[in-house]
Amino acid sequence: MTVHAVITGVGSYLPERILTNADLEALVETSDEWIFSRTGISERRLAEPDEATSDLAARAGKATLADAGVDAGDVDLLVVGTSTPDMFFPSTACITQDKLGLSCPAFDVNAACTGFIYALQCGVAAIESGRARCVLVIGADALTRHVDFQDRSTCVLFGDGAGAVLLQAAEEPGVLGIVLGSDGSGADMLKVPAGGSAAPATVERIENREHYLQMAGNDVFKFAVRVIPTVTKQALSASQLEVSDLAWLVPHQANQRILNTVEERLGIEHEKVYSNLERTGNTSAASIPLALDELYTAGRISKGDNIAFVGFGAGLTFGAAVVRWTKNAPNKEA
Ligand code: ACO
């Protein structure tokens, strides 16, 4: 019999500290009006100095296991999508595993802002191949740790957070189709140049601020509005569905103008494209499961709904997944 992967738990975590556009006006030459009109962002969350990516991931993972009503001992694989690991090694997944009291294999996937979709694919493949029956998939990032708060073109965009889903083996279909893509020729468009093996940290590189994120914003924008509609349609086609079959599109939350353009190009109603960007900014690999958890906890997803997730990010990477919702009401308060 074919084994399917279904989502049986959802959870997320946002740090408490809020950084508003007004706070940023005090740091760089910018304005709330510029930031909101160009991006749709009003505020974002900042991890505390003693909060690492694994802490965000563990909070989201714990909430997800509680929602699914599954014990830590029953998880047989942990995959963490992150591009802001606690440190180069050990993996953030191993540190998170310990914080959650899991005893299963654990590894990280780095696909930047597409990290959740890539990690989801790993979990789905493990279940469909019979290698695992219960996989915790977390997207977690603390990008504000790598953002240059002297660079107004990037520091206004990002926030910290984590979101997760639990995948379990089932007879009924849950995750219907996933399509992933990469285009390494665009690696220079979005990168943290120094600190890795290509350019190890030196005093000079740090003084030149090369250890911070650098982005060609306009090029990334054009890439995003080109690939998102295409890969979403490919994942729908792999699931034998059309755009009109979707109850929700949950896209990576990077810029409201990107979402508006995608909406037009896909021909999907504005009300079906979920956005929480105004309150979170771009939380990278966390943004899709964070948005999903908000929708789900608010009771806005019904059993049988078709939902598409779509992401894009550094790499360049992109990917989309289509899911048929099989869960009942959430096991938690809105
Ligand atoms: N406040 C005020 N002015 C600013 C700011 C700011 N925060 N940032 C830039 N400007 C200025 C620029 O200096 C420029 O001034 P100039 O015309 O005098 O040179 C002007 O505003 C216009 O700048 P653009 O870069 O052309 O602005 P644009 O409208 O393209 O918006 C933005 C920039 C928001 C970055 C947009 O390009 C974007 O959202 N790109 C996509 C980014 C993205 O999605 N990144 C995440 C990828 S996911 C991952 O893997 C991390």
pLDDT digits (tens, 9 = 90+) for 220-243: 999 999 999 999 999 999 999 999
Q: Is residue 269 located within the same domain as residue 210?
A: yes
Do the domain assignments include residue 331?
Answer: no
The residue among 174, 189, 222 that closes a domain is 174
Alpha helices by DSSP H, listed for 79-193, are: 92-100, 115-128, 152-155
Given the structure tokens 């390494």, which residue do they identify? Answer: 184
> How many Å lie between the centroid of ligand 1 and the Cα of residue 302?
37
Residue 250 lies in a domain: yes
Cα 259 from chain centroid (whole Å): 15
Average pLDDT over residues 271-275: 97
Residues 301 and 218 in one domain: yes
Q: Tell me the pLDDT band of 329, cut-offs 50, 70 and 90.
A: confident
**Shared domain check, 134 and 213:** no
Asked if residue 142 is part of any domain, the answer here is: yes
Provide, rounded to the nearest whole percent, the portion of the chain with pLDDT above 70. 99
Are residues 168 and 130 part of one domain? yes
The whole-number average pLDDT for the span 139-161 is 97
Whether 225 and 89 map to the same domain: the answer is: no
Candidate of 114, 153, 214, 282 to mutate for ligand 1, largest count of ligand atoms within 8 Å of Cβ: 153
Centre of ligand 1 from the C-alpha of residue 221, in Å: 9
Identify whether 333 is part of a domain: no
Structural domain for 305, as ranges: 176-324
Q: Is there a domain that residue 136 lies in?
A: yes
Number of domains in the chain: 2
What pLDDT is stored for residue 165 in this prediction?
Answer: 98
Same domain as 186, residue 40:
no
Q: What CATH number did the domain enclosing 263 receive?
A: 3.40.47.10
Q: What is the Cα–Cα distance from 8 to 5, expressed in whole angstroms?
A: 9
Task: Please give the number of the atom of ligand 1 that sits closest to the Cα of 315.
Answer: 50
pLDDT of 82 > 80? The answer is yes
169 and 201 belong to one structural domain: no
The answer to whether residue 334 is domain-embedded is no
Which protein residues touch ligand 1 with a CB less than 6 Å away? 30, 34-35, 38-39, 112-113, 152-153, 156, 190, 215, 217-218, 220-221, 224, 254-255, 282, 284, 313-314
* Confidence bin at 16 (pLDDT 50/70/90): very high
pLDDT per position as a tens digit, 154-209: 999 999 999 999 999 999 999 999 999 999 999 999 999 999 999 999 999 999 99
> Which residue in the block uniquely carries the two structure tokens 């019999």?
1
Residues 6+ apart with CB under 8 A from 19: 43, 44, 45, 46, 144, 159
Answer yes or no: do 167 and 24 share one domain: yes
Burial class (CB in 10 A: 0-12, 13-18, 19+), 238: middle
296 and 189 fall within a common domain: yes
* 153 falls within a domain: yes
Q: Look up the pTM and report it.
A: 0.96
Tell me what the mean pLDDT of segment 305-317 comes to. Answer: 98
Q: What is the DSSP string of 15-27?
A: -SEEEEHHHHHTT
Q: State the DSSP code for 273.
A: B
Whether residue 189 is found in the same domain as residue 155: no
Residue ending a domain, among 174, 204, 228, is 174
From ligand 1's centre to the CA of 106, what distance in Å? 36
Do residues 9 and 117 share a domain? yes
Rounded Cα–Cα distance for residues 251 and 280 (Å): 14
For the cut 90, the answer to whether the pLDDT of residue 99 exceeds it is: yes
- Note whether 197 and 320 are same-domain residues: yes
Task: Say how many Å lie between the CA of residue 218 and the centre of ligand 1.
Answer: 7
Nearest to 331 by CA among 68, 28, 6, 57: 68
Token digits of residue 239: 């699931």
Examine the fold and report which residue of 174, 209, 229 is the final residue of a domain before the chain moves on. 174
Do 94 and 295 touch, CB atoms closer than 8 A? no
Task: Tell me, yes or no, whether 330 lies in a domain.
Answer: no
